[in-house]
Amino acid sequence: MRRCQPQIHHKTHGLSVVAHQVPHQRIENVIIQPNHRYTVHYYSNHWTIAFGNRPRYAPKVEGETMIRGIKFVGVPVSDQDKALKFWTEAVGMIVATDQPFNDKQRWIELKIPGADTGIAPFTPDGHQDRIGQFTSISFWCDDVFATAAAMKQKGVVFAQDPKKEHWGTSAIFKDPDGNMYVLSSR
């Protein structure tokens, strides 16, 4: 039986953690040693978000135009006030901006706490027929069953209760206009 030599980190002179050698689903769940500065809190986004910092992304390449992420996704609504109440009080989003847009609508951006993405409850002229449809938006959470139960207590209607599949767990919920969204496990 051949034994592999341990990998030694060239700067810290400690053992390196190699993702494919760790029997966990996510590397951020590994603690190297107690009270060491390189713990789960140092490597995970939880640490950076808790102190008001954003997680680091790939550096911008000089001279190239690159998409950096999704800021928001538009959601067609018939009543922005009703939508604002639903998304903030029942779902838990926070208002990033709420300002006049034109004589018919406001520009509202709602963010998911701890995430860079969100939604904009806004219906462009000529798109009223899209209100009340199934959307291609899928929200994720840690526990679909518990999140769905909490949302139901706040009055959210589910078109499909949570169900576990071989690929994960999902449910489908509706907003006050009947737009449908997927709630799934990551």
Q: How many structural domains does the chain have?
A: 2
Rounded CA-CA distance 25/139 in Å is 20
Residue whose tokens read 């997680």: 55
- Burial label for 40, CB within 10 Å (0-12, 13-18, 19+), is middle
Give per-residue pLDDT as tens, 51-80: 555 555 566 667 677 888 899 999 999 999
Residue whose tokens read 């053992």: 15
What is the pLDDT at residue 6? 57
pLDDT band of 10, cuts 50, 70, 90: low
Q: Would residue 61 count as lying in a domain?
A: no
Q: Would residue 67 count as lying in a domain?
A: no
- Please tell me whether the overall predicted TM-score, pTM, comes out greater than 0.75 for this model: no
More confident residue, 139 or 42: 139
- Burial label for 175, CB within 10 Å (0-12, 13-18, 19+), is buried
Both 33 and 103 in a single domain?
A: no
Both 37 and 114 in a single domain?
A: no
